[in-house]
Structure formats: C-alpha cells, structure tokens
C-alpha cells in the first residue's frame, strides 16, 4: 500500500502562473481553480504520465534550441578546439566521377556516377576522343577572359625576379626565399648560387618525343580530370585520393622544365584560384609531402613565383599535427582541415620509409620561410631512427610504432615498398645539407654494406645482380620494381665522393632493372620480379607471378637511367630509356588522352589497361625521361640540386 498523497503544493502552482507575468484578473483565477480541480481529480498514475510527457517535451525543446544556436554560431568553420575533438576519417570526398571539366574556371561540378568502361584490346586503340571542337569553343571564351585577368594580375604584381622561360636567366637568390623573413631564416643554408638551367638548348628529337607524350598525358588530364587527383583515361573520368589536384601539382615543375609555358600558366591559375587546403580530408603525410609540398617547393624554385611558396607553407602547417605523437614519430595520416592526425585504423604503426622520407621537403620549407618547426619536427625523426636498435647492418625493418618509437615486425628487410626511400633520403639529406651530417653518411654507408651482405645475389643463367628480401633469416629472390631507384642513388653517392664500388654496383643493378623491362613481352617491367637462382634448362632470369605482372607507369628504372647516363655519359642508358618510352607509347597510351597503368606486361595483345594514370607518371617518369635524353649536365645539375623521391628538384644548400 502507498501512503495517502500529501496535499497539493498550491503555492507552487501559483508561482508558475505568476512567472508568466500576467495580471491576475478574476476570469483567469476561475480558470486556474477549475484546472486545479481537474488536476486533483486525476489518478497519481495519470498525473505522473502527464508530468513525464511535459518533462520530455521540455528536454526536446531545449536540445533543439542548443543545436540551432550552434549552427548559427559556425557559418564556415569550427573553433580549433571543436575541430580537434572531431573524429578523423570523415567521408567527404566525392566518389569517382566522370568529368568534362572546364580547366581554369567554372564551378566545381556536383558528383556524378563514374562510367564503367569496356576493355577492348590495347589502350592506344581504344575509345575515340569526344568532339573537341564544340567543347573547345565553349571553353575558349572563358579561358581567354581568365588569361586576360591573369595577365593583368601579373602586370600589377610583377614577379620579383626576371625569369626567362625554363629558368635560363633566373637571378640567383631572389627566387628562393621570402625577403621579409630572411632575418629569421636558419643561418646554415644561406647561400646558393645561380645554377638553375643556365642555358637550355632546344629539345632534341627524343626530348621532343617526351614533350609529345607529356602533352598527350596533360591533354587527357585537362579534358577529363582537371583539378582532380588522377585521370582515369579509359573511362575519361577521374579519381580522388586527397581531392587536391594531385596530378596538377605534381606536374608543375615538369611543365616548367619541358617548356610548356601556356600549360604552366593555366596550372598556376588553378593553384592561385582553386586550390583549397581548408578541407575536411585525411591526407597521407608521406605521399602529400613528397608530391604536394615537394611539387610546390620545386615550382617555386624554378619559377620564382611566391604563390607556390605561400601555398607550400600553408600546406606544411596543416601537416604539422602528424608529428604530435608520444614518440615524435609521426602518424601516417592527418586531416588538413580539422588538424586531427592518426595512424591507420588497424595499427598504431607507421611505415619506416614514410616517416623518414619527408625530411628534404620540411627542411627546405624551414630554410625558405625561416620557420624552424618544420625542420625540427622532421629531423627529430631522423635522430630517433638513427639511434634505434633492431637494424641489421644498417638495414631497417618496415614498421615503427608511433607510441613507443620502436621498430615493430622485426626481422624483415627489403629495399622495396615500406623501406625504399629511407635509404634514398639518408644520402640525399646528407647532400642537401652540404655533406655535413656524419650520422646520415654513417647510416647510409652501413646500409649499403648491409645490402651487399644480406640482400644481394646473382640470378641464373645470366648472373644478373639483384636485391632480394630477408624474412627471419630466409632469403627471398623477390625484387620490387621500386628497388630500381637504387642504381641511381648508388651512382649519385659515388658522384659525391662515396666509394667507387658503389658505382660498380649501380651499373650492375642498372643492367638488371633494364632486363626487368626488356625480358617482358611489352618491354615494361612488372611491379614485382622473381629471380631464378638455379640453373635450369629454358628458364629465364626474370620470372613473374600472375599477381605481380602489372605496371603502374612507375619511374624507378628511368630515374636510375637518368643518373647513370648523367654520371657516366654512356649513350646506352639513353637508348634503354628510349625503348621504354616506345613501350609506354605502344601499350599504355590512350587515344583520347592520357596513359593508363596496365595489368599484364606479358601480354602485348591485351595488356589490360587499369584505367588509371598515376600522378607520378607526369611528375617523375616523363621528367626523368626528358632529363635522360638531355646531354647538358647543367640542366638541373646534380651538383646544385637534389631530387626528392617524387623527382622534385630542391637546391643543395651549400653547392659543391
């Protein structure tokens, strides 16, 4: 039994009505009394239900008020605190879309469904280009208007330097720093002289063929993917990775070097007017550093246009949260809009090559801006990795933990994916900094000895030297095409005074990388090759597994050919590169514009286009081919420049 209900708190009721601020006339008093009587007649249960509903309605009202107030307080962005509290990985990029973009102007188109494409034989025989004329006519008017506006802008804000095309008359110093900040800049790299493309001969026949290939790739990107990350040449659409115009930025310095002035101007306009970093998007720290930061810095060095440095600094700032980890080893991903950094969802590890291959760019950004934090954060990683245990004669594991700062997945060693550019950046940082930092050199030299001792073998029947992998003491005769950066790096080290046997090894590995292309029916290397270790009748040196026979238009072979030719002067390296360019043209060129990765380098009748043109095809592959075919050692001299791992040239701080 419940005890009898206490008398109703009459005063409470009156206090509520008074709070409405109404005058207390007789009729209202009557109504109140009758309401009160009705209330008293209700059962306890009925009263409780009504009270509960009222409380619920009040709560809902309060919540919706708060949410409306919040939205109206944040018209375009969130406070830094709110932004940081937001979870990362928000799905904001549009799905791949078909594009028929209007380069240079026009609003961003709403997302559309990607078109499926039918695969019909070699890509260069596929799909006709759309009606260029009518499209071109439509675009011409607006492009002319934009060009005029841009010219007016250039006249009002003339560049600080007198720069003739391809940098042939760039004044020293002026194009490489922000004068207003010079006093704050780190003192060390204060001088570097006039060494940009001093005299530039007209392109020879092979270089013209590269220009033609580049124009074709660019035409496809411009028509179908303008301002997006990557061209899908077969379906004539695009794909997004970061949503930052990756191909366009990766291509800026190649456009400049190849002398494509009009195209460079158009791309520059896009950077000036459309490139937007305030975006709620996760980017991979390494990939965006080498392609976007590196691309902008090189564009700045070559053109002297401060726009590129401003963009580089903005972007660098947005990457900095990645370094805020317990160990100072950066996370793999960072949201450039919210500033939230994080590892991949499945691990708290980062990839060793990724965290150790961002230093050239961050150091250069500090040198140019005078803002030290970029260099300090990146160099802290180098210092920590230098003193870590778990290496095997200078060889590093593939993963490192962002909490403990220690290597993980110990005992697996490769020069391929996840470790490759660690070795490259040891040498290149040493060169960039004027060969001062003994720890970098020591780590590099030790690693080359480790490669020779543990990973270097010779194949049968041709005794090709190759670099395999080691997993817990077991050798695997597997070599990624990515490893073909190594001959070039070894040759570069030898050029900068390292032991002559590095050059000998570079030559041998260069032959092998060439054979990885040459022994395929298309003349293009597979992504991964396996080398034959046992002499057997009818067996080739290079073997390919079905899952590994794709080619992504990667640069590493032609990158090394460039170094080997530049540093030995031997014509055969140019000839090998020429063969590879022919193969790209035969098997990967798409008639309507662009080049496509292929799935099968062993089937020349049906190489199976994968419908993707990676940004590094323009940023690296075609740039290195163009430089390979030049006989001018002063064209981006290796005594004045160091190329980042995405082929973006950065100045050596103290020229040699």
| Residues catalogued as catalytic | 287, 420, 527, 556
Q: How many residues bind ligand DMJ (CB under 6 A)?
A: 8
CB of 602 to ligand DMJ, least distance (A): 20
Task: Measure the CA–CA gap between 328 and 384, rounded to whole angstroms.
Answer: 9
CB of 367 to ligand DMJ, least distance (A): 22
Nearer to ligand DMJ, 102 or 287 (CB): 287
CB of 110 to ligand DMJ, least distance (A): 30
Binding letters toward ligand DMJ, positions 553-592, x by CB under 6 A: -xx-------------------------------------
Residue 197: name the closest of 597, 543, 501, 632 by CA.
Answer: 632
Residue 240 binds to ligand DMJ (criterion: CB under 6 A) = no
Could you give the maximum distance between any two Cα atoms of the chain, in Å? Answer: 115
CB of 382 to ligand DMJ, least distance (A): 17
Task: Measure the CA–CA gap between 423 and 497, rounded to whole angstroms.
Answer: 17
Task: Give me the sheet containing 399-401, strands edge to edge.
Answer: 349-351, 399-401, 407-408
Please, are residues 221 and 636 in contact by the beta-carbon 8 Å criterion? no
Please, are residues 139 and 103 in contact by the beta-carbon 8 Å criterion? yes
Which segments of 532-606 are extended strands (E)? Answer: 542-543
Beta bridge partners of 609: 598
CB of 550 to ligand DMJ, least distance (A): 12
Residue 639: name the closest of 252, 193, 291, 254 by CA.
Answer: 193
Q: How far is CA 580 from CA 13, 427, 612, 616, 624, in A?
A: 91, 27, 19, 16, 12
Nearer to ligand DMJ, 192 or 315 (CB): 315
What part of residues 396-425 is at the interface with ligand DMJ (CB under 6 A)?
Answer: 421
Nearer to ligand DMJ, 600 or 645 (CB): 645
Residue 584 phi/psi, 5-degree rounding, is -60, -45
Residue 430 binds to ligand DMJ (criterion: CB under 6 A) = no
Residue 245 binds to ligand DMJ (criterion: CB under 6 A) = no
Nearer to ligand DMJ, 126 or 351 (CB): 351
What part of residues 444-503 is at the interface with ligand DMJ (CB under 6 A)?
Answer: 482
Task: Measure the CA–CA gap between 403 and 349, rounded to whole angstroms.
Answer: 8
| DSSP type of residue 613 | B
Placement of tokens 């841009």 in the chain:
150
CB of 552 to ligand DMJ, least distance (A): 7
Task: Measure the CA–CA gap between 649 and 253, rounded to whole angstroms.
Answer: 8
Is residue 461 reached through a cis peptide bond, with omega within 30 degrees of 0 on the bond before it? yes
Residue 343 phi/psi, 5-degree rounding, is -80, 175
Residue 617: name the closest of 247, 357, 216, 205 by CA.
Answer: 247
Nearer to ligand DMJ, 126 or 525 (CB): 525
Nearer to ligand DMJ, 574 or 645 (CB): 645
Beta bridge partners of 231: 238, 613
Residue 637 binds to ligand DMJ (criterion: CB under 6 A) = no
Instruction: Pick the binder of ligand DMJ from 617, 635, 646, 652 (CB under 6 A).
Output: 646
Instruction: Pick the binder of ligand DMJ from 613, 645, 649, 652 (CB under 6 A).
Output: 645
CB of 241 to ligand DMJ, least distance (A): 12
Task: Measure the CA–CA gap between 98 and 141, rounded to whole angstroms.
Answer: 23
CB of 482 to ligand DMJ, least distance (A): 6
Three-state SS string over 14-64 comes to HHHHHCCCCCCCHHHHHHHHHHHHHHHHCCHHHHHHHHHHHHHHHHHHHHH
Angle at Cα 564 formed by Cα 558 and Cα 566, nearest 5°?
100
Nearer to ligand DMJ, 332 or 421 (CB): 421
Lookup: tokens for 297 = 């810095």
Residue 460: name the closest of 509, 367, 565, 530 by CA.
Answer: 530
Nearer to ligand DMJ, 192 or 587 (CB): 587
Placement of tokens 């391809």 in the chain:
166
Binding letters toward ligand DMJ, positions 611-630, x by CB under 6 A: -----x---x----------
Nearer to ligand DMJ, 428 or 554 (CB): 554
CB of 168 to ligand DMJ, least distance (A): 28
**Residues engaged in binding ligand DMJ (CB under 6 A):** 421, 482, 554-555, 616, 620, 645-646
């Amino acid at each position: 039994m419940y005890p009898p209900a206490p008398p109703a708190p009459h005063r409470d009721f009156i206090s509520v009505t008074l709070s409405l601020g109404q005058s207390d006339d007789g009729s209202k008093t009557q109504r109140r009394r009758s309401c009160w009587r009705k209330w008293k007649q209700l059962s306890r249960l009925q009263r409780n239900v009504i009270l509960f509903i009222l409380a619920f309605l009040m709560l809902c009202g309060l919540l919706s008020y708060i949410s409306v107030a919040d939205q109206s307080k944040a018209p375009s962005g969130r406070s830094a605190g709110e932004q940081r509290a937001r979870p990362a990985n928000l799905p904001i990029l549009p799905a791949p879309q078909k594009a028929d973009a209007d380069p240079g102007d026009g609003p961003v188109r709403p997302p559309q469904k990607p078109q499926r494409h039918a695969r019909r034989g070699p890509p260069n025989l596929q799909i006709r280009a759309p009606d260029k004329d009518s499209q071109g006519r439509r675009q011409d008017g607006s492009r002319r208007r934009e060009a005029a506006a841009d010219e007016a802008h250039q006249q009002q804000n003339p560049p600080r330097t007198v720069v003739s095309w391809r940098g042939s008359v760039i004044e020293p110093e002026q194009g490489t720093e922000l004068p207003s900040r010079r006093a704050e800049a780190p003192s060390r790299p204060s001088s570097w002289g006039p060494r940009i493309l001093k005299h530039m001969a007209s392109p020879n026949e092979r270089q013209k063929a590269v220009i033609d290939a580049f124009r074709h790739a660019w035409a496809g990107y411009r028509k179908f993917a303008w301002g997006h990350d990557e061209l899908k040449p077969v379906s004539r659409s695009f794909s997004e990775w970061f949503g930052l115009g990756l191909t366009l930025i990766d291509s800026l310095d190649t456009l400049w070097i190849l002398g494509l002035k009009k195209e460079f101007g158009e791309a520059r306009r896009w950077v000036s007017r459309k490139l937007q970093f305030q975006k709620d998007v996760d980017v991979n720290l390494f990939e965006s550093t080498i392609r976007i930061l590196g691309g902008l810095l090189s564009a700045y060095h070559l053109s002297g246009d401060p726009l590129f440095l401003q963009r580089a600094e903005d972007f660098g700032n947005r990457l900095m949260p990645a370094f805020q980890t317990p160990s100072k080893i950066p996370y793999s991903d960072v949201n450039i809009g919210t500033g939230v950094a994080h590892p991949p969802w499945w691990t708290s590890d980062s990839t060793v090559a990724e965290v150790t291959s961002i230093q050239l760019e961050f150091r250069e950004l500090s040198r140019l801006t005078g803002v030290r934090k970029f260099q300090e954060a990146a160099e802290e990683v180098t210092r920590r990795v230098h003193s870590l245990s778990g290496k095997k004669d200078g060889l590093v594991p593939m993963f490192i933990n962002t909490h403990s700062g220690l290597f993980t997945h110990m005992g697996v060693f490769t020069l391929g994916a996840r470790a490759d550019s660690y070795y490259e950046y040891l040498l290149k940082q040493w060169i960039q900094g004027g060969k001062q930092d003994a720890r970098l050199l020591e780590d590099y030299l030790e690693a080359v000895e480790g490669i020779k001792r543990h990973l270097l073998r010779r194949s049968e029947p041709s005794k090709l030297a190759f670099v395999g992998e080691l997993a817990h003491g077991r050798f695997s005769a597997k070599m990624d095409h990515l490893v073909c950066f190594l001959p070039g790096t070894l040759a570069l080290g030898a050029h900068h005074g390292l032991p002559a046997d590095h050059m000998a090894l570079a030559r041998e590995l260069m032959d092998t990388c060439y054979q990885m292309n040459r022994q395929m029916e298309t003349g293009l290397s597979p992504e991964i090759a396996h080398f034959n270790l046992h002499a057997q009748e009818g067996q080739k040196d290079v073997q390919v597994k079905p899952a590994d026979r794709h080619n992504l238009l990667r640069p590493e072979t032609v990158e090394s050919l460039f170094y080997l030719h530049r540093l030995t002067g031997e014509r055969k390296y140019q000839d090998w590169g020429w063969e590879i360019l022919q193969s790209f043209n035969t098997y990967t060129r798409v008639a309507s514009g662009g080049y496509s990765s292929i799935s099968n380098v062993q089937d020349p009748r049906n190489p199976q286009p994968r419908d993707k043109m990676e940004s590094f095809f323009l940023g690296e592959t075609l740039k290195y081919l163009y430089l390979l075919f030049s006989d001018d050692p002063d064209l981006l001299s290796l005594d004045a420049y160091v190329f980042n791992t995405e082929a973006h040239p950065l100045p050596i701080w103290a020229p040699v």
